[in-house]
Structure 1
Amino acid sequence: MSDMPHDRDTAQPPPSTYLVGGAVRDRLLGLPVTERDWVVVGSTPEEMRARGFRPVGKDFPVFLHPQTNEEYALARTERKTAPGYHGFAFHTAPDVSLEDDLRRRDLTVNAMAEAADGTLIDPYGGQADLDQRLLRHVSPSFAEDPVRILRVARFAARLTPLGFRVADETLTLMRNMVEAGEVDALVPERVWQELVRALAGPAPRTFIETLRACGALARLIPELDRLWGVPQVAKYHPEIDTGDHVMRVLDQATRLSPEPSIRFAALLHDLGKGTTPTDLLPSHHGHEARSEKLVLEVCARFKAPNEFRDLARLVAREHGNIHRALELRPATVLKLLEGTDAFRRPERFAAALVACTADARGRLGHEEDAYPQAEYLQRALQSAREVEVQPLLERGLKGKALAEALRRERVGAIAKLKG
């Protein structure tokens, strides 16, 4: 299996070297193999360095091949020493077996290896679980690392199109981990990393639903988790449940755009409905302002990049006005364009329109509806931007008078769109 060069001057891995993890899994599934990781059994750090490998591991010996830059890790075991995912002690030695190393991995489908001659080493039933489309933990030590909850949710989201699901016993174990408080040890940056990777994948809904099923969503994004069970007016939302609606919106955003920032905005756009006073339900008057506030809190917690924060904030605050665009007076349309900074940030405004299209279609029975508001607002923006300033300057206008004249001209240009 190894395609390492065999020139005398080229570094050679020790003979007991195995391809492991995702590369083996994806090859068996017929998926593209984008990166390869290797495990070396029966070697030492000194021997690896002598062969020209560059050490990079801080906690345990990992080396980069001098030509391919692929990672070669010495076979290791690990032992839980403290709460959270930093509390581990690692042990590497020449007598650590391949089976020992594979046992510490998260899922059986990730605990397979392949020898240089192509022989599959599968001590924990990974191939059978691939055939049954199951994501199942290798051993009870799975419960020692809370990051694995995020990883399982992301793998589920990635492999949902192939029919995979989380094994019942693994979901139970994940639920027990949440109840034991392990998830509370996750740092926000790692949660964000996994969330964005899931949002970029083929089925981000599955990531959210898996976290919710084990109770982790309530700990990580309680603002989102509490939307389930919150009713909406059936006339506008035949699906009624707000959590159901948000998952449908995420599905539509996934159909419409590959951009994680748009999918993120779709996911969080209705957070304010979770704080609507019960005596007002199923109406949600003013939920946009509450949604914007909660979006900012979520983004601050996870240190979300400005691109994600600003788009999600805009969609949360303005999606109601965007939905009503065809009913608005031209002056109000211009005010909407100015308030969303559409003149300076047209790409972000276009992204917001995609998220709003997903919102409109994320309702039971409305999945294929047209959304003329998006085209109208794009045309309104274009017409307003085409208004020339030079004639106004030639009339001697400046300062406040110039700004007011420009605004009148832009309102007039928008008004012509409706004939």
Structure 2
Amino acid sequence: MNVYLVGGAVRDGLLKKPIYDKDFVVVGASAFDLLSQGFSQVGADFPVFLHPNTHHEYALARTERKSGQGYKGFAISTDNVSLEDDLARRDLTINAMAIQVAGLFDDTPITGEVIDPYGGQHDLDNKLLRHVSDAFAEDPLRVLRVARFYARLFELGFKVHDDTKTLMKHIATSGELSCLSRERIWAESVKALDYPQGFAYFELLFELDILKQILPSLNDAWQDHALRQHTFLSLRQSYQHSLSVKFALLTQAFIHKPNAQERLSDTCQQLLTPKAITQFASLFISHYDDLVHLDNICAKNLLTLIEHTKAHKDAKTLFELIKAVQIATGKPINTNFLQNAIKSYQSVGMDMIDKTLIGKHIGDELTRLRLDNLSDLLSETFHA
């Protein structure tokens, strides 16, 4: 039995980047060998096991043969598989390197020598993302993974090899992308948005004419070069903000477009975007102009803004919207005025309502009094 540290940990170590996860390949062992050592199997039919102490993943060396459509359509074999065979099934050469360690319970490198049968170190030195073999085209998920690695390593100057781009486009035109679950597309996109240069994930997919296969509404909106580039700039400036803010900024090209909410809805359905993030993006599109032109807002729209964002109960959503709009426009928004508007709204209570009113008339009167207060505030603030 030989145990090897593989994949991202080797790559990131060579790049002098922090190592957060370790994955291992075990050669010359069986499932029984690992289970008898206290490892637990991940899935009944998948040869990956969790270490009893560290919970790192230890996989039996395996080969994969295409047996159906999509990223799950593979037949797996673990019989007499060498390390080189296992590394050959991986996506990129920079992820197909290994370092032998002492054993299952000691991950100290024996010599530190990098086992690199497919030129990963050469590609690291030349800042290239290059596929290991033509088997790359059998797994549609790899299209998104390459785009994500491109975004992750963008600030280091990495490029995608032309031959790899060709294979990515081939996968897209073959129809294999339709086999990807919406959950997987969302998961890869979220990981990309978490990078400082997360925009590069979407930029690469757009430039390779792949985005139209998975996010057609966004792809159509981005035919406007200026809007697309402005979106990418906004994403660069927002990477430390919440996912809600980043996703809203991703969809800013829909603002002022016909059927903007329908376009947003299509995109969110394609990604199975969580409800809260979808709702935030919808508020961003609906109230963008209100916040940009706050000095010209009317009392009715101001009341709607407060109620739609539930700012009278908790102003967090409203102030997240303000962050998104400020990033998109590069201009400050009068937050003091909005805080005063919320207080003005909250100052109207049931004790101010005529006790003879019943039913709908109570709500109408509350609205009338709040509109009066907000009108007075607008006059004092912007029209004095």
TM-score (norm 1): 0.82
Return the offset for 1:84.
1.2
Deviating more after overlay: 152-161 vs 337-346: 337-346
SS at match of 2:166: helix
User: What residue number does 2:344 align with?
Assistant: 384
- Listed as ranges, the gaps of 5+ residues in structure 1 are 1-13, 231-239, 273-285, 362-370
* Equivalent pair of 1:200/1:259 in contact (CA under 8 Å): no
Deviation of residue 359 (structure 1)? 1.9
Paired residue secondary structure (1:119): coil
Q: Which runs of 5+ in 2 are unaligned?
A: 102-109
Counting only pairs closer than 5 Å after superposition, residues 255-404 of structure 1 correspond to structure 2 as: 257-271=240-254, 287=257, 290-361=259-330, 371-375=331-335, 378-385=338-345, 387=347, 389=349, 392=352, 399=362, 400-404=364-368
Q: Deviations over 1:335-392 (max 9, x none)?
A: 433344332352111111122112213xxxxxxxxx2335355334444355253762
Deviates further, 114-123 or 51-60: 51-60
2:118 counterpart of 1:124: yes
Say if 1:387 and 1:413, in contact at 8 Å, map to a contact too.
no
CA distance in 1, matches of 2:175, 2:45: 25
> In structure 2, what is the Cα distance between the partners aligned to 1:253 and 1:73?
37
Q: What is the alpha-carbon root mean square deviation over aligned residues? A: 2.2
The residue aligned with 2:182 is 188
In 2 relative to 1, CA 381–104 (structure 1 residues): closer, same or farther, beyond 3 Å? farther
How far, CA to CA, are the matches of 1:111 and 1:144 in structure 2?
17
Per the alignment, residue 253 of structure 1 pairs with: 238
Q: How far apart are the structure 1 equivalents of 2:266 and 2:337?
A: 29
Rate the CA distance shift 1:102–1:340 in 2: closer, same or farther, 3 A.
same
In 1: Cα distance, 2:337 partner to 2:212 partner: 37
- Report Cα offsets for 1:236-278 as digits up to 9, x if no partner: xxxx733233223333333xx4312211111112226xxxxxx
Q: What secondary structure sits across from 1:355 in the alignment?
A: helix
Match of 2:29 in 1: 43
Match of 2:155 among 158, 161, 166: 161
Contact 2:128 2:158 in 1 (8 A): yes
- 2:227 is aligned to 242
Q: CA deviation at 1:405?
A: 2.0
* C-alpha distance in 2 between matches for 1:415 and 1:339: 23
Aligned residue number for residue 276 of structure 1: none
Give secondary structure in 2 for the equivalent of 1:79: strand
CA contact (8 A) 1:212 1:225 kept: yes
Instruction: Give the 3 Å change call, closer, same or farther, for CA 210–59 of structure 1 in structure 2.
Output: farther
Kindly state the Cα deviation for residue 22 of structure 1 after the two structures are TM-superposed. Answer: 0.7
| C-alpha spacing 1:374/1:397, structure 2 compared with 1 (3 Å) | farther
Deviation at 1:32, TM superposition (A): 1.1
Separation in 1, partners of 2:32, 2:375? 74
Q: Is the 8 A contact 1:161 1:203 kept in 2?
A: yes
Deviation at 1:195, TM superposition (A): 0.8
The correspondence for 1:406, drawn from 366, 370, 373, is: 370
2:62, 2:77 within 8 Å by CA — same for their partners in 1? yes
Q: 1:305 to 1:140 in 2, by over 3 A?
A: same
Identity level (%) = 38
Residue-pair matches, total: 369
Give the alignment's TM-score, normalised by structure 2. Answer: 0.89
